[in-house]
Amino acid sequence: WRDGVRSRGPCLICSFLSVFILFILKKKKYCVIPPFSVSVFLFSLVSFSAGNIIGSGIFISPKGVLEHSGSVGLALVVWMLGGCIAALGSLCYAELGVTIPKSGGDYSYVTEIFGDLVGFLLLWSAVLIMYPTTLAVIALTFSNYVLQPAFPNCVPPYMATRMLSATCILFLTWVNCFSVRLATRIQDIFTVGKLLALGLIIAVGLLQIYKGDYEGLTPQVAFEFYKTPSVGQIALAFLQASFAFSGWNFLNYVTEEVVDPRRNLPRAIYISIPLVTCVYTLTNIAYFSSMSPEELLASNAVAVTFGEKLLGMFSTLMPISVALSTFGGINGYLFTSSRLCFSGAREGHLPSLLAMIHFKSCTPIPALLVCCTATIVILCIGETHNLINYVSFINYLSYGVTIAGLLYYRWKKPNLYRPIKVSLLVPLCYLMFWALLLGFSLHSEPVVCGVGLVIMLTGVPVYFLVVYWKNKPKCVYDFTEWATYLGQRVFFVVFPHIDPTEATTSSKWNDKSSVTSTAAGPV
């Protein structure tokens, strides 16, 4: 800190804390911190992509996809087309990722292309609801499957599932605060673990088919509709599948930490998306090889029902497998969602403290703690599945706006160097599917989509009050300045060593602290 120990503060304890921390750091008066540790290689990229996509969705969504599609055959088609759409979107994001090389994904690109207001609305909905709710659902799935063997004849207790979920989130938050490399290693291990778990389901299903138990998968039976779906119902089936594929855009949240992103980003997409699509399709084939549509629709835990029918005394492997899958998913979501908070703070849309990283581990500790806290709050609210329905519409809306921005950016800056440049057919095909999907979804579920839009639009007054309004009272600046200094002293964080123009943007929340807290200044 440039001022050393400041004379003013809320209490004497904070002053003593400041002196103690400065005493610890007295041998390191100056430090230059790189923006992030560039240590994410191709295998870790594939692991993060597959690990973020393969989470609780494959164990939750099959029921919803089958319910809305009306037949086994159409459900399998939805799963395969869902993977193709995710691949198209990923390729568009790869071009944006190397053209606008900032961590933050959708938010960074939309802010760069369409301006601060649109970017803030996307950031607001993501930080407030989308990512905390998704994290909460995955954590609850983890705790339910871990506790299920202890409560074989009933639902695990409410408080036990919440406590275990919160413990898991707190532990993985500590891991991500401690080391980027350790977080990527955990992701690598649990991605392999979850693929092995799904491999067990697929192997048992293929064994059933080898034995001749595939009557329900023959074309005549598979496309026999137990109900005739409307176009709107098919759109809802795609939305259910999209929840299982959510996370395909998360590679773009860590582009600043990727080694050679020009080569490794597209390679990771070409490997991870087909891998996930193949795994999802084969997993559903395995489910249908042993369960009728009626049995699958009646099950609250598809993987557990599958294990009970085919694995006998080894059926407890299924809850363990699901727990492994969701544990890796929580880690990946924490890693990437914290980078979104970091990027938002760096652009001046969130408090500047969230744009700081630890001076030794180079991890965004304040941003990680914000994500952790928001997720635990959502856990306490309870009705997370309803919230997921509300924000699914926002999720797809943000994808479409971002990819439309790619076309606009090509028109706006045609001569800009683009290391990766996809064919125009790729974004156009995605946007055609996106428009049809959102249109029919809005027609089928106007209330759900409407609530999602309302959540997003609540960010408009917040933007004008907090970000756009420049001449705030002096007491507001004094408070944010004090809070930033206190946060730096508690968490040992500083601004990364970035361009002066980028450092200046963080001053929208706190003009003074953004200058006096830069990494080039005294610590």
Start-end of CATH 1.20.1740.10 domains in the chain: 36-469
CA–CA distance, 110 with 93 (Å, rounded to integer): 12
Torsions phi, psi for 288 (to 5 deg) = -70, -20
* Cα distance between residue 115 and residue 111, in whole Å: 5
Retrieve residue 269's tokens.
């997409």
CA 297/CA 187 separation, integer angstroms: 32
Q: Give yes or no for residue 37 having a pLDDT over 50.
A: yes
Q: Cα(339)–Cα(250) distance, rounded to whole angstroms?
A: 10
* The three-state (H, E, C) secondary structure of 418-450, written as one string: CCCCCCCHHHHHHHHHHHHHHHHHHHHCHHHHH
If residue 408 lies in a helix (H) or strand (E), which one and from where to where?
helix 384-412
Residue 212 DSSP one-character state: T
| pLDDT tens readout for residues 74-96 | 999 999 999 999 999 988 988 88
Q: What is the pLDDT of residue 30?
A: 34
Q: What is the pTM of this model?
A: 0.74
pLDDT digits (tens, 9 = 90+) for 175-188: 988 888 888 788 77
Query: Quick one: pLDDT at residue 164?
Result: 94
Convert the pLDDT of each residue in 17-34 to its tens digit.
343 433 333 333 334 444
Structure tokens at 266: 């597209």
Q: Is 17 helix (H, G, I), strand (E, B) or coil?
A: helix
C-alpha distances out from residue 181 to 40, 170, 178, Å: 8, 18, 9
Q: Which helix (H) or strand (E) holds 357?
A: strand 357-358
**Secondary element (H or E) of residue 494:** strand 493-494
Q: What single string gives the DSSP state of each residue in 46-88?
A: HHHHHHHHSSSHHHHHHHHHHHHH-SHHHHHHHHHHHHHHHHH
Residue with tokens 């009970």: 308
* 216 burial level (CB within 10 Å; 0-12, 13-18, 19+): middle
Is residue 6 a contact partner of residue 19, using CB atoms and an 8 Å limit?
Answer: no
How far, in Å, CA of 143 to CA of 122, rounded?
Answer: 30
From 3.40.50.360, 3.40.50.2300, 1.20.1740.10, 3.20.20.60, which CATH number describes the 36-469 domain?
Answer: 1.20.1740.10
The overall average pLDDT reported for the chain is: 79
Lowest mean pLDDT among 67-71, 77-81, 315-319, 431-435: 315-319
493 SS3 class: strand
- The token pair at 212 is 């001749």
Q: Is the pLDDT of residue 427 over 50?
A: yes
Q: Give the tokens for residue 136.
A: 């909460």
Coil vs helix vs strand at 358: strand
d(C-alpha 192, C-alpha 253), whole Å: 22
CA distance 114 to 249: 19
pLDDT score at 36: 52
Check residue 9 and report its DSSP letter: -
Do 286 and 209 contact (CB within 8 A), yes or no?
Answer: no
Q: Are 28 and 492 in contact (CB under 8 A)?
A: no
Give pLDDT tens digits for 195-213: 777 888 899 888 988 888 7
